[in-house]
Amino acid sequence: MANKRKTFITGIFLLVYVATLFIYPGYESAWSAAAKKQNKMVLGYYTEDYPGDKLSYTSLAANSSLIDSVAFFNYQIDDKGNLTTQPTSSGIKLAKSKNLKTLMLVNNMGKYNGREVAHKVLSVEKNRKNLADNILKTIKRNGFDGVNIDLEMVALGDRDNYNALLLELKRLFKPYDYLLTVSIPAKTSDSLYSEWFGAYDYRAIGKVADLVAVMTYEEHWSGGSPGPIASFPWVQQVLDYTINTMPRGKILMGIPAYGYDWSDTGGRTVRWNNVNALTAKYPGVAWNNWFSSPYLIYYDEKGRSSQLLQYSRDSCLASRFRGRDFLASCKG
């Protein structure tokens, strides 16, 4: 049997009332301009995947007029609450020169086990306070406007400890009016059994954080069964739940700019900017009514069957910002 491969593509971060846009390196298109016309806030994420990586810098320079804030994805925690960093001084300087808000993004996705690191920091009061103090010092030292807390894979048992960290940061930030923002997994109910999103108490988080970036992607992931990363019906369900658990003026909705290519040997990531080349090389894009997304089935040079699903055309993304007929715009 042919080695069957399925790829699902999507693109960024949008909103319900406030919009956020996770701008991936080099991404320029109609939806960001649409957001501006709707007076929505656009938040871009700045990454450096390797020394000398200038993709985010180039994208920020080209698109600074389309965004409001930038989060720098380069601060990782250890199990004691200390921070390690990859300097991005040129990017920070550029953002400030464009009068954009700057946020330091704190994550647990380094060389250590992310769930274990988060647990050791969050569950020990000394470590938790050390992290909060280090964040405040880093904001002051670099002139950031605030922080984006992106702690993922938090254990269910650390639900209250995660909230305690946010409360401590809020207390420390109050005299300086720094922004406290968080990135959290998407969900459609408050299940206390989910290892992926059970630790995130939407109601409690919505009361403390200034902005909440809901990661409306990873509906399916590279290590699981193939499927769309952010199908339209699922995103709608996530938003329906979210606006009923926290103030909608704080909600930032994400649209990822990547996809997955599944095969019998596992899944791999596909960047948004490779989609056009694939659809040009293998014609035959069709439409999936249930997922509200275009898809493509093709065979590569080795005779392997592949399926490209859930990639977003610019017209689809712009339509979500404008609130116009999404299906009509995407099918066209």
Query: Do 278 and 250 belong together in one domain?
Result: no
Q: Which residues contact 15 (CB under 8 A, 6 or more apart)?
A: 40, 41, 251, 252, 253
Answer yes or no: do 213 and 152 share one domain. yes
Which residue, 122, 112, 107, is CA-closest to 76?
A: 107
Domain end (from 206, 240, 262): 262
Q: How many domains does the chain have?
A: 2
Q: What's the rounded mean pLDDT across residues 24-47?
A: 60
pLDDT for position 97:
96
Q: Which of 213, 236, 262 is the last residue in one of the domains?
A: 262
pLDDT per position as a tens digit, 98-116? 999 999 999 998 767 899 9
Same structural domain, 237 and 284: no
Tell me which residue has tokens 């066209």.
332
Predicted local confidence at residue 10, as pLDDT: 33
- Give me the mean pLDDT over the 181-206 stretch: 94
Closest CA to 76 of 152, 172, 143, 25: 152
Do 143 and 287 fall into the same domain? no
Mean of the per-residue pLDDT values for the chain? 80
- If asked whether residues 69 and 210 sit together in one domain, one would say yes
256 with 275, same domain: the answer is no
Which of 215, 236, 262 represents a domain boundary (last residue)? 262
CATH number at residue 290: 3.10.50.10
Distance CA 268, CA 255 (A): 19
Cα→Cα distances 64→32, 43, 58, 87, 154, Å: 11, 11, 10, 20, 33
Show the domain range for 281: 263-331
Answer yes or no: is pLDDT of 80 > 90.
Answer: yes
Task: Give the separation between CA 95 and CA 109, rounded to whole angstroms.
Answer: 24
Q: What is the DSSP letter of 24?
A: P
Q: 196 and 219 share a domain?
A: yes
Q: Could you tell me if residue 256 is inside a domain?
A: yes
